[in-house]
Chain A
Amino acid sequence: GNSVTQMEGPVTLSEEAFLTINCTYTATGYPSLFWYVQYPGEGLQLLLKATKADDKGSNKGFEATYRKETTSFHLEKGSVQVSDSAVYFCALNSGNTPLVFGKGTRLSVIA
């Protein structure tokens, strides 16, 4: 079945540091890949997505590239801010299967 594995947290970074959160997946067919973010006290919200191989999703300075050869969708940001502190979830779906989430990675950015 479909599954997502993402790096364990928590991740603590200083402001303006470079961020990478690794995500790899197992899926049948041709999945769509997503990153969702959960800010403190708020609901999950879509951060970015990619629907086919080599697509790059981007939003708010975050990027992730759909790599079919390595079955990966790593999240990156060149310079993090305190306001980026949140829990980040990698997710996928394929065909008519429901969205499957990874366990989440908590990011704390300190000034």
Chain B
Amino acid sequence: EAGVAQSPRYKIIEKRQSVAFWCNPISGHATLYWYQQILGQGPKLLIQFQNNGVVDDSQLPKDRFSAERLKGVDSTLKIQPAKLEDSAVYLCASSQNTGNNEKLFFGSGTQLSVL
């Protein structure tokens, strides 16, 4: 079974530039998550999709971050404009459904450095 695919693996940009990350979840998984993991901290949820609808985006800085999941499969996360504090690993995860006991499958992440 193919895992969660993310690209690019690394990205270096200057502040105020824009950047986009891509995620392809495991086939058939209805729920997709984007997490931000700042160095030395645990992952923090940015946005959760169920199919192509947003379930939770309460912690997404909407003035600069946006995400979409067209057709309920692939997803992109965009930052525009980037700030220094956005330097982090951006993790995509998927699960079959939402719920207490759902196992999340994570991609390897995109490491973003904002200079």
A residues with a Cβ closer than 8 A to B are 4, 31-32, 36, 41-46, 49, 51, 89, 91, 93-96, 98-104
Which residues of chain A are within 8 angstroms of B105 by Cβ–Cβ distance? Answer: 45
Please tell me if B21 contacts chain A, counting CB pairs below 8 Å. no
Residue pairs across A and B with CB atoms within 8 Å: the count is 53
Known contacts A41-B108, A42-B108: A103-B103 contact under CB 8 Å: no
Contacts A/B (CB < 8 Å), 29 sampled: A4-B42, A32-B100, A36-B106, A41-B108, A43-B3, A43-B4, A43-B91, A43-B108, A43-B109, A44-B93, A44-B104, A46-B104, A49-B101, A49-B103, A51-B101, A89-B42, A89-B43, A94-B100, A95-B100, A96-B98, A96-B99, A98-B33, A98-B45, A99-B33, A100-B45, A101-B42, A101-B44, A104-B40, A104-B41
Number of interface residues, chain B, beta carbon within 8 A: 24
Which residues in window 7-59 of B have CB below 8 A to A? 33, 40-45, 48, 56
